[in-house]
Structure 1
Amino acid sequence: MLQKILSNKIRLAQFLFLVGLLILIRAFEDILFYDPFLDYFKNDFANLPLPNFIPFQLFFGLLFRFTMNTVLSLGIIYVLFKDVQMVKFALVLYYFFFMLLIISFFFIIYYVNGHNNLALFYVRRFLIQPIFVILFVPAFYYQKQK
């Protein structure tokens, strides 16, 4: 598969452009998104109380960031596989995982009362980083080979 990508320079340029946009999202996260947990998790968060936040603003900030990462990740999947059905399936998976993760995120904040900050850290990490594309690309490649 890597040989196919390297032989097709337009697809390689598209792939690199989309990955570059994912990098830019990460580089400008402080400017683009409302997330008081950015600074919180850069410190020794195990001993700190949760930061003050506005729930609706935090929800929409996470939704906006997850949506941007999802759109770019779906673009990467399409560029790599040129399969619309695969992209539709990935979209359903992204939607399902977003619902599961956002409910878990706010459940941990409100009902665990800061006693499990590590779980909050990892749930939030899956919401704000394009981790699913790293999981989906090898899985879809394997599925396509079968």
Structure 2
Amino acid sequence: MKNKFVVFSGITVFFILLVLVRFYERVLFYDPLIDFYQGNFTIASPPSIDKIKLICYVVLRYFINAVLSIGIIALLFKNKKIIYFTSLVYVIFLILLTPIFSYFIYNFNADNYLMVFYIRRFLIQPILLLLLLAGLLYQYKINKKS
């Protein structure tokens, strides 16, 4: 009983930290695209962006979300192979998406507003956690039946 309480408490803390990262995003991270995408960005002119600073802060936010997400998965599954797999997935997505995001930020114009929006959203939100949790829980359920 005590072990389940510790696991549940840890997962709750990690989820709260993910929510706090989102809640305090304007204070913690440089991101002029927050206001840009909240308005009618299809007709708006792009904001002034310090490109290197934006990319660094997006990567920082991705890293924070990844650490918290891996912590949640580690507490849920307590399996080194799953933790390794999850970490590897996060590293692969970072390696793939950061150069693409950088390219579109350096070529930021009306033609790629949506591309930047979706890549940035994937990098700054814990979407990967939801996908991995769904897949890992499904795999766990399949393995448990057999």
Pick one of 130, 138, 144 that aligns with 1:142: 138
TM-score scaled by structure 2? 0.89
Aligned equivalent of 1:84: 80
Equivalent positions of 1:8-19 (< 5 A) are 8-19=4-15
Aligned equivalent of 1:51: 47
Identical columns (%): 35
Pick one of 32, 38, 59 that aligns with 1:36: 32
1:114 aligns with 2:129: no
In the TM superposition, residue 63 of structure 1 has moved relative to its aligned partner by 1.1
Structure 1 CA distance, aligned partners of 2:82 and 2:57? 27
8 A contact 2:51–2:105 mirrored in 1: no
Task: For residue 30 of structure 2, give the secondary structure of its aligned residue in structure 1.
Answer: coil
In the TM superposition, residue 69 of structure 1 has moved relative to its aligned partner by 0.2
Task: For residue 15 of structure 1, give the secondary structure of its aligned residue in structure 2.
Answer: helix
Aligned equivalent of 1:23: 19
Task: Give ranges in structure 2 of 5+ residues lacking alignment.
Answer: none
Task: Give ranges in structure 1 of 5+ residues lacking alignment.
Answer: none
TM-score scaled by structure 1? 0.89
Cα RMSD for the two superposed structures: 1.7
Count matched residues. Answer: 141
Aligned equivalent of 1:75: 71
8 A contact 2:70–2:83 mirrored in 1: yes
Structure 1 CA distance, aligned partners of 2:83 and 2:41? 37
Aligned equivalent of 2:56: 60
